[in-house]
């Protein structure tokens, strides 16, 4: 798929998108009214402003005409999209079921914008579910109302209702994505969000011949909402997915012949950039292409020092831009995605497949296959993660906080709480610092902005309440506390957060996503974090910048960020099952001193609970 100028995408405002007839009409209108003064034009009507300045009118006519005839000279500023959320039938694995979609598409439509553009997405809910949409990785500077997580920054959009997400993309460029942020709807309600650099600003690497979206996901034969509903009723873990997908298709699967497979046509001797997104609910994935290396140039919409690998590790919520050179013999080459799980936990073990096909290849030629890493290939995963470094150039510096105001340690655990109606008299739970987060009845951001009492407290513990050997022998009490507790940060304060996995029930890798911020991954390790020995080894020069980071199984990861975005910002595991069980919390960032350091008021169409 060749990425054209965003101005040429559907539903984009800008004079350059106007038909030539409209431009000519404006020009003639100005000319006709020149004798009566300068005409002020807006999108709704002509309103005359008698300036008695015919010279100004003449120059304005010239500017309008040039703008119409030379669209490349005009920068688009506002992008408008409409999301009709509707049910649509989809056939995968030789069975058909209705799924929740945007505009009947699965995966959903791609949003295109440029750095500094304003984006308006009108979401119309035509399905039976409450819903909200999260623009994963968009900073949402002062516009937390558009962030999307239900009951965190907004009440959900109820059936029959409409909400316009309105935000400006400031200082960001790269591959992000959007997805539903309520229930398990994001299984099928997701799509790419591509932010191109400002006009005239090149990539910090050779421009590819073409760019292609590659979305990895999971597929259940059953209704996904029924799967999690039954799991919550029983207190047990939900059934794993029945297949993984590449751009919505599983490829070849046992006992089911299907023509549905993603195919990437390429020409020899070219470079193609793959914008890879892991939209899976619960699985980290390896990705590779037979016979081809991949040069990594960006993760989570942040440029990295390019490096070459044959295998990518990508966790749910993460994005990776990879350059593939078509330098092999003409033919068909397998693209594949398979799970990474280095803990004794059930996972969908099917491999999703697609095909990279050189032009001129005859259909009868056999596909060149590839061998994927084993499911528990920790060294492969670690090597990839350790290779990531921020570009840290003059144009894109790594602004790592050096002086820290808040030094936090969050333990991550799976627990068990009593449940009289559940199968074993108990239910699985998840917690941060032994607190399973409880969603409120109204939006936390609404409660914060209007200073409503009784909705949340700001006493979330910055360190474990009862320290112990987190990766060693575990306590006998596996119960968790429940609460809607937030951690408060002053505007522009700096934070170091260590996310520590524990051996409760079982150690496990956890991809954690922070809304509203990018952060720097300054360190990681296996075992317990040592506050005396580990910080001297932190990378404070060129650590990778992300919005979603994997906490290694039985280990820890340290991140740093500056709280320069007022509002309420969700932090949660991006394994949907863990988020459902309570593995989440939120930061509340106070306003700064100046108006441009304060949260904007809520929009008038913000949904109500």
Using one digit for the tens of pLDDT, what is the confidence trace for 310-364? 999 999 999 999 999 999 999 999 999 999 999 999 999 999 999 999 999 999 9
Distance CA 277, CA 315 (A): 9
* Joined tokens for residue 419: 């449940």
CATH number for the domain formed by residue range(s) 77-199: 2.60.40.420
Q: What is the CATH number of domain 205-390?
A: 2.60.40.420
Average pLDDT over residues 217-237: 98
In Å, how far are 35, 525, 575 from 509, measured between CA atoms? 73, 12, 10
Confidence of residue 253 (pLDDT cuts 50, 70, 90): confident
The rounded mean pLDDT for the chain is 90
Q: With cut-offs at 50, 70 and 90, classify the pLDDT of residue 76.
A: low
Token pair of 393, please? 């150039």
- Rounded to an integer, the average pLDDT of 20-46 is 35
Q: Which residues of 35-58 are buried (b: 16+ CB within 10 A; e: fewer)?
A: eebbbeeeeeeeeeeeeeeeeebe
103: left (phi over 0), alpha (psi -120 to 50) or beta: left
Strand pairing of 319-325 and 312-314?
A: unpaired
Q: Tell the residue number behind the tokens 């398990």, with chain if given.
A: 184
Minimum mean pLDDT range among 24-28, 344-348, 506-510: 24-28
Whether 70 has a pLDDT exceeding 90, the answer reads no
Domain 406-597: homologous superfamily in CATH: Cupredoxins -  blue copper proteins (2.60.40.420)
pTM (global) more than 0.85 = yes
DSSP run (H or E) holding 487: strand 486-489
Question: Residue 460 has which token pair?
Answer: 């979330």
- For 243, which DSSP code? E
**CA 145/CA 603 separation, integer angstroms:** 8
pLDDT at residue 75, as a whole number: 60
pLDDT tier, 7 (very low <50, low <70, confident <90, very high otherwise): very low
**CA pair distance 447, 384, nearest whole angstrom:** 41
Q: Which two tokens stand for residue 602?
A: 């809520």
User: What CA–CA distance (Å, rounded) separates 202 from 209?
Assistant: 14
Mean of the pLDDT values across residues 284-297?
Answer: 99
**Res 405 pLDDT > 90:** yes
Could you tell me which residues come within 8 angstroms of residue 556 by beta carbon, excluding any fewer than 6 positions away? 498, 499, 500, 501, 524, 525, 527, 528, 529
Q: What is the pLDDT of residue 255?
A: 82
**Chain segment 546-581, per-residue pLDDT in tens:** 999 999 999 999 999 999 999 999 999 999 999 999
Q: Which residue has the tokens 């207190």?
A: 235
Which of 90-104, 154-168, 231-245, 255-269 bottoms out in mean pLDDT, i.e. has the lowest?
255-269
Share of the chain above pLDDT 70, in %: 88
Structure tokens belonging to residue 240 = 């794993």
Cα distance between residue 46 and residue 19, in whole Å: 18
Q: What is the pLDDT of residue 71?
A: 43
Residue 333, H or E segment: strand 332-340
Residue-level pLDDT at 28: 39
Tokens of 331: 């033919």
From 485, 487, 468, select the one nearest 413 (Cα to Cα).
468
Residue 138 has pLDDT above 70, yes or no: yes
Give the pLDDT confidence score for residue 14 in this predicted structure. Answer: 34
Report which DSSP code applies to 64.
H
If you count them, how many residues does the chain have?
Answer: 609
Task: Considering the chain, tell me which residue range(s) the CATH 2.60.40.420 domain(s) occupy.
Answer: 77-199, 205-390, 406-597
d(CA 337, CA 216): 8
Tell me the percentage of the chain whose pLDDT exceeds 90: 85
């Amino acid at each position: 798929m060749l990425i054209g100028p965003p101005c040429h995408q559907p539903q984009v405002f800008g004079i350059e998108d106007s038909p030539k007839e409209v431009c000519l009409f404006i020009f003639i209108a100005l000319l006709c009214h020149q004798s009566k003064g300068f005409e002020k034009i807006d999108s709704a009507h002509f309103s005359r402003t008698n300036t008695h300045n015919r010279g100004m009118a003449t120059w304005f006519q010239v500017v309008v005409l040039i703008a119409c005839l030379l669209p490349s000279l005009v920068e688009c500023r506002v992008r408008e999209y409409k999301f009709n959320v509707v049910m649509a039938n989809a056939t995968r694995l030789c069975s058909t079921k209705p799924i929740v979609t945007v505009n009947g598409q699965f995966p959903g439509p791609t949003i295109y914008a440029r750095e500094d553009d304003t984006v308006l997405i009108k979401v119309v809910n035509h399905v039976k579910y409450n819903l909200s949409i999260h623009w994963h990785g968009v900073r949402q500077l002062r516009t937390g109302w558009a962030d999307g997580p239900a009951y965190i920054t907004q009440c959900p959009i109820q059936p029959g209702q409409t909400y316009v997400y309105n935000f400006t993309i400031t200082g960001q460029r790269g591959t992000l994505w959007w997805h539903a942020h309520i229930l398990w709807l994001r299984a099928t309600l997701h799509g790419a969000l591509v932010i191109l650099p400002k006009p005239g600003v090149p990539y910090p690497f050779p421009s590819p011949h073409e760019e292609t979206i590659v979305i990895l996901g999971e597929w259940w034969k059953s209704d996904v909402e029924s799967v999690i509903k039954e799991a919550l009723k029983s207190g047990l873990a939900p059934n794993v997915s029945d297949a993984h997908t590449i751009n919505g298709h599983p490829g070849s699967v046992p006992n089911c012949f299907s023509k549905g497979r993603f195919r990437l046509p390429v020409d020899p001797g070219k470079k193609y950039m793959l914008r890879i997104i892991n939209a899976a609910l619960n699985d980290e994935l390896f990705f590779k292409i037979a016979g081809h290396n991949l040069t990594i140039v960006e993760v989570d919409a942040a440029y990295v020092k390019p490096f070459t690998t044959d295998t990518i590790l990508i966790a749910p919520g993460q994005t990776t831009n990879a350059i593939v050179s078509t330098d092999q013999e003409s033919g068909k080459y397998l693209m594949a995605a398979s799970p990474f799980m280095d803990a004794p936990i059930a996972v969908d073990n099917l491999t999703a497949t697609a095909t990279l096909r050189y032009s001129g290849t005859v259909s009868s030629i056999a596909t060149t296959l590839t061998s994927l890493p084993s499911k528990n290939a920790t060294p492969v995963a670690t090597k990839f993660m350790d290779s990531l470094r921020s570009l840290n150039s003059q144009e894109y510096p790594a602004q790592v906080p050096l002086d820290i105001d808040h030094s936090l340690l969050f333990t991550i655990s799976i627990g068990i709480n009593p449940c009289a109606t559940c199968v074993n008299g108990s239910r699985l739970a998840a917690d941060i610092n032994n607190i399973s987060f409880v969603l409120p009845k109204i939006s936390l951001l609404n409660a914060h902005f209007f200073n409503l009492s009784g909705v949340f407290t700001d006493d979330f513990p910055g360190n474990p309440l009862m320290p112990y050997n987190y990766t060693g022998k575990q306590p006998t009490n596996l119960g968790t506390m429940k609460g809607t507790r937030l951690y408060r940060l002053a505007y522009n304060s700096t934070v170091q957060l260590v996310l520590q996995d524990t051996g409760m029930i079982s150690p496990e890798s956890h991809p954690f996503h922070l809304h509203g911020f990018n952060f720097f991954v300054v360190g990681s390790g296996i075992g317990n974090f040592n506050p005396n020995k580990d910080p001297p080894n932190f990378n404070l020069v060129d650590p990778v910048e992300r919005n979603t980071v994997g906490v290694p199984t039985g280990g820890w990861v340290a991140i740093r960020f500056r709280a320069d975005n007022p509002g309420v910002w969700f932090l949660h595991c991006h394994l949907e099952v863990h988020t459902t069980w309570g593995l989440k919390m939120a930061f509340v960032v106070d306003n700064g001193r100046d108006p441009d350091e304060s949260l904007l008021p809520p929009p008038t169409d913000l949904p109500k609970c």
